[in-house]
Amino acid sequence: MKTNLPLLIMNDFMLFPCCEIKKEVNDSKIKKILDISEKYYNNYVFLSFINNNIGVVAKITLRLDMPNGYTKVNFKGIIRCHIVSINQDKDIDNAYIENIQIPQINPTEHIAKSKKIKELFLEYLDNKKSLGNSIIEKINNINDLGNLTDIIGDFMPLNKEKKEGLINEVDPIKRYELLKDDIAFELSLLNYENSLDTEIEKNLEEGQKKYILKEKLKLIEEELGIKENSDTLKLQEKIDKLECPTRIKNKLYDELERYKVCNSNSPEIGIIKNYIETLLSIPWNISSRENYDIDAIKKSLDESHYGLEDVKERIIEFMATKKHTKSKHNPIICLVGPPGIGKTSISKAISAALKRKCVKISVGGINDEAEITGHRRAYVGALPGKIISGIIKAGVNNPVFIIDEIDKMTKDIKGDPASALLEVLDYEQNSGFTDHFVEEEFDLSKVMFILTANYLENIPTELKDRLEIIELSSYTSMEKVMIVKNSLLKRLRMEYHLTKQELNLSDKTILYIIEHYTRESGIRDLERLLRKICRKFICYKIANNENMDINKHIKDILGSEKYNYQENYDNEIGMMNVLSYHPLGGELIKIETGLCEGSGNIKTTGLLGDVMKESINVAMAYLKTHVKEFKLDNNIFKNNDFFIHFTNNGIKKEGPSAGVSITTAILSLLKNKKISNDIAMTGEITLTGKILKVGGLKEKIILAVERGIKKVFLPLENENDILEYHNIYENKLNIVFVDNYLDIYKDLFKNLKK
Ligand code: ADP
């Protein structure tokens, strides 16, 4: 028989055929294997050891997910099989297994050996004194030597290596030989132990009884000279060599002592070893040598990234100050902006320029502070948190540590990850950061943290105060062209082994790709398309033995155009353009309004958020309370129902900045005047008609220029904010700054045709 089963590696437990085992697991990978087994394999899995080709088919007879996150599982061993091959399937290992041919046994030998092993085992039980009868009953009913050796092997308190040896031995006769020796050894230990009992009892008082077993083991190990085995010696050597504070070394020696006296069958032994190994892997005193060559840092950043001047300037300033003052203090920089604009890659480039190691974690979706600070090690399967794990991965105590998506953490009953992160970042506290698993202080003050987020307003407030926020905004099409020319193409030429003549795109072609095949703030899609061009170019060259002129064949390579950049259809009465900003860049949305006889209800559609809905109420209230100025009939609001719809239904709309556009759309409806589609506006409106400052201006201005808008109304309060973008809008947009809605009204509703 040959079949496929999900492969589960036995690390801290053993399962023999004919036997059962109960386990509690909290490992997401194991849970995934259990899920897949339940869904596709009728609850069967294949248990084996690492790098081994023998294992046991097991049936999951019970699975119970408990509220504390652990899962109770009962496995029942069925049969030994042999692994033919291992494949990856659904992110887990899948073993292709086949039955094992068991050698024929002479019947007389079979009976004699079954009898012998039973006798030996009964003698062992007899000497052990304190055991129940169920195992005796069980083996009395079994005569098959293979099954007997498995059941007894499972029962005996043998160490991991011995049990593994028994599971791996497919021949019952050979298994019998191994087991016989093991039982005989255990018997001799028992006899010796019994003779020591009297001696120990003399030395111990009644209250110390719980130490008896350990004391016994110690004496036996000393007597047999097996105390210092190669495993403990190796650990001892590693601890001796570890560069770390003395307190850590002392702690490690203490743990090693506990490890030496711990019973090899106790689950605690794995926990202690894991702890020792974790402490050994932490780079307590290892640092990267920093690069203080300011010119070289600048050159390196300029080579890898075009633009992003604010970030580069901050890093240069920081390194220059550090060089000058010899201060150890690191800034906590937080890069905020839409996806794909280079937040992560410039952070990596910074680490390369500073010649520091780099490590990246993401805290998006985290709702449990233990993910940051670790689980207490008393929990089975406990691990250090993401910070210490990151430090271990970096291998130094002063890496550039990127923490991604800090605006996507959530807070719930499991705790507040943001406050845990605060402890990590705060310069005052982080020199003594204590992970719950590690239990010892680790100095994080040498780490340079760079955080990234998409939305400024979603960064937890308590964190925001400690960060140096650098806002990065979307790129204009021309900026994208410059990035491609100055950075991306160079990188791709190296990666795909292409020369400048081969991968040669004109500015016009690059702009054409940007405008007709991408719609994004950053350059991720653009990069993907350029990679596609490289691949197609190489295939063509190999097939035809000549170069393809990419500029001429861009449509053949990329297929038909995906976007028409001037897409901005005509407005009807009651419609108005909205310049909206979201992480994918600016988006031109249209508000449509309508009314019918009714009683003053307002129905809104278009995936609107709460703030947006409030803007609609404010706009309505503003119009109702200013009917005189707008020459409106008061009854029009009482006797009609209003419908307000925002187009682009796929995008969730939020924020107050559509206030002025909503007011204008309703006025257009009520005054029966069409507003041209080359006019747009942005601004929050208040009940008095005051127009308040808004964000995302660069994106909105880029959008207006790209969609053929000619005139834009902006809040007066934003007047200074747009100066730095003058090269984007100069000679293209007529920008009118307004302080009160009446300014817009006068401009639009006095001169428009009916
Ligand atoms: P983010 O972290 O902001 O989502 P990434 O760092 O993943 O974005 O950037 C996406 C891709 O765009 C990367 O390959 C990056 O190198 C490239 N990129 C973005 N901005 C620039 C730039 N200014 N210069 C060079 N490459 C850039």
543 and 406 in a common domain: no
Q: Is the predicted pLDDT of residue 753 greater than 50, yes or no?
A: no
343 alpha carbon – ligand 1 mean position (Å): 6
Question: What mean pLDDT is predicted for residues 562-575?
Answer: 77
Tokens, residue 214: 């350990």
pLDDT at 203: 60
Contact 55 CB / ligand 1 (< 6 Å):
no
The residue whose two tokens read 């979201």 is 582
* Ligand 1, atom nearest to 335 Cα: 3
Our answer on whether the CB atom of 338 is closer than 6 Å to any ligand 1 atom is no
Tokens in use for 441?
A: 């202080």
The residue whose CA is least distant from atom 25 of ligand 1 is 305
Q: Is 303 in the pocket of ligand 1 (CB under 6 A)?
A: no
Q: Which protein residue's CA is at the shortest distance from atom 19 of ligand 1?
A: 342
Looking at residue 219, its pLDDT comes to 66
Task: Give yes or no: residues 553 and 597 share one domain.
Answer: no
The closest residue, in CA terms, to atom 20 on ligand 1 is: 342
CA of 422 to the centre of ligand 1 (A): 27
Assess whether pLDDT exceeds 70 at residue 722.
yes
Just list the catalytic residues: 657, 700
- Is residue 146 lining ligand 1, measured as CB closer than 6 Å? no
Measuring from atom 16 of ligand 1, which residue has the nearest CA? 345
Per-residue pLDDT, 374: 86
The mean pLDDT value for 479-490 works out to 89
Three-class SS state of 548: coil
State which of 300, 523, 525, 526 you would mutate to test the pocket of ligand 1, scoring each by most atoms of that ligand within 8 A of its C-beta: 523
pLDDT at residue 575 tops 90:
yes
Per-residue pLDDT tens over the stretch 139-166: 888 889 999 999 999 988 888 888 989 9
445 and 316 within one domain:
yes
Phi then psi dihedrals of residue 525, to 5 deg: -65, -40
Q: Is 524 in the pocket of ligand 1 (CB under 6 A)?
A: yes
Which CATH number covers residue 309? 3.40.50.300
Q: And the tokens for 170?
A: 């497919």
Cα of 97 vs centre of ligand 1, distance in Å, is: 46
User: Given the CA of residue 338, which atom of ligand 1 is nearest to it?
Assistant: 3
From 56, 83, 99, the end of a domain falls on 99
340 CB less than 6 Å from ligand 1?
yes
Ligand 1 centroid to Cα of residue 308, in Å, is 10
Residues 642-665: what's their mean pLDDT?
A: 86
- The whole-number average pLDDT for the span 54-67 is 90
Instruction: Report the mean per-residue pLDDT for the chain.
Output: 85
Tell me, what's the pLDDT at 754?
41
Q: How far does residue 523's CA lie from ligand 1's centre (Å)?
A: 7
Same domain, 636 and 729: yes
Report the run of H or E that residue 76 belongs to, with start and end.
Answer: strand 71-89
pLDDT per residue as tens digits for the range 306-326: 888 888 888 888 888 877 877
Mean pLDDT within 183-207 = 73
Residue 522 makes CB contacts below 8 A (sequence gap 6+) with: 338, 339, 340, 341, 342, 474, 475
Please check whether residues 339 and 423 belong to one and the same domain: yes
Atom of ligand 1 nearest to the CA of 305: 24
Residue 146 forms part of a structural domain: no
State percent of the chain over pLDDT 90.
Answer: 30
CATH number of the structural domain spanning residue 515: 1.10.8.60
Cα angle for residues 485, 489, 493 (degrees, 5° grid): 150
pLDDT band at residue 446 under the 50/70/90 scheme: confident
Q: How many helices (H) and strands (E) does the chain have?
A: 29, 22
pLDDT of amino acid 567: 66
Ligand 1 mutation pick, 334, 335, 345, max ligand atoms within 8 A of CB = 345
Supply the pLDDT for residue 752: 45
Domain assignment present for residue 589? The answer is: yes
Last residue of a domain, one of 79, 99, 119: 99
Q: Is 489 found in the same domain as 372?
A: no
350 lies in a domain? yes
Q: What is the Cα–Cα distance from 86 to 5, expressed in whole angstroms? A: 10
**Regarding predicted confidence, which is higher, 38 or 412?**
38
| Least confident among 95-99, 137-141, 576-580, 636-640 | 137-141
Q: Is residue 380 domain-resident?
A: yes
Instruction: Output the residue whose Cα is nearest ligand 1's atom 22.
Output: 305
Contact status, residue 36 vs residue 76, Cβ threshold 8 Å: no
User: Is residue 306 within 6 Å of ligand 1 at its C-beta?
Assistant: yes
Relative orientation angle of helices 267-281 and 230-241, to the nearest 10 degrees: 30
Helix (H, G, I), strand (E, B) or coil at 173: helix
Q: Which atom of ligand 1 is nearest to the CA of 337?
A: 3
Angle at 314 between CA 308 and CA 318, to 5 degrees: 150
Which of the 8 DSSP states describes residue 486?
I
Per-residue pLDDT of 228-240, as tens digits, reads 566 778 888 888 8
620 has pLDDT over 90 = yes
pTM metric for this prediction: 0.59
For residues 576 and 664, the answer to whether their CB atoms sit within 8 Å is yes
Interstrand relation of 333-336 and 358-362 (parallel, antiparallel or unpaired)? unpaired
Which atom of ligand 1 sits closest to the CA of residue 346? 6
Give the residue with greater pLDDT, 742 vs 91: 742
> In testing the pocket of ligand 1, which one of 341, 403, 473 has its CB within 8 Å of the most ligand atoms?
341
CA 453–ligand 1 middle distance (angstroms): 14
pLDDT at 211: 66
Biggest distance spanned by C-alpha atoms of the chain = 114
CA torsion sign for 8, 14, 18, 20 is negative
Q: What's the pLDDT band for 557 if we cut at 50, 70, 90? A: confident
Does residue 521 have its Cβ closer than 6 Å to ligand 1? no
* 546 and 625 belong to one structural domain: no
Tell me whether strands 640-646 and 679-681 are parallel, antiparallel or unpaired: unpaired
pLDDT for the residue 569: 79
Together in a domain, 412 and 459: yes
* Position with higher pLDDT, 23 vs 210: 23
Q: List beta partners, residue 362.
A: 404
**Which atom in ligand 1 lies closest to the alpha carbon of residue 472?**
3
Domain match, 458 and 482 both? no
Domain boundary among the residues 496, 528, 558 is at 558
Q: Ligand 1 within 6 A of 17 CB?
A: no
Domain CATH for 706: 3.30.230.10
Question: Residue 402: CB within 6 Å of ligand 1?
Answer: no
Same domain membership, residue 307 and residue 436: yes
Q: Are residues 273 and 299 in the same domain?
A: no
Whether the pLDDT of residue 224 is over 60: the answer is no
φ/ψ of 451, rounded to 5, equals -105, 155
Tokens of 332: 């906590």
In the chain, the number of structural domains is 5
| More confident site: 648 or 697 | 697
Strand ranges (E), 456-584:
468-471, 575-582
Beta pairing, strands 711-715 & 691-692: unpaired
Give domain status of residue 174, yes or no.
Answer: no
pLDDT of residue 690: 96
Residue 690 gets which letter from DSSP? Answer: B
In CATH, what number is assigned to the domain containing residue 84?
Answer: 2.30.130.40
- Residue 145 falls within a domain, yes or no? no
Tell me which residue range forms the domain holding 526: 477-558
Is 135 a member of any domain? no
Q: Is residue 304 part of a domain?
A: yes
Q: What is the pLDDT of residue 322?
A: 78
Encode pLDDT of 25-43 as tens digits. Answer: 888 888 899 999 998 899 9
State which ligand 1 atom lies nearest to the alpha carbon of 523.
12
Judge if 643 and 665 occupy the same domain.
yes
Instruction: Tell me the per-residue pLDDT of 414-430, one tens digit each, with 9 for 90 and over.
Output: 677 888 888 888 877 88
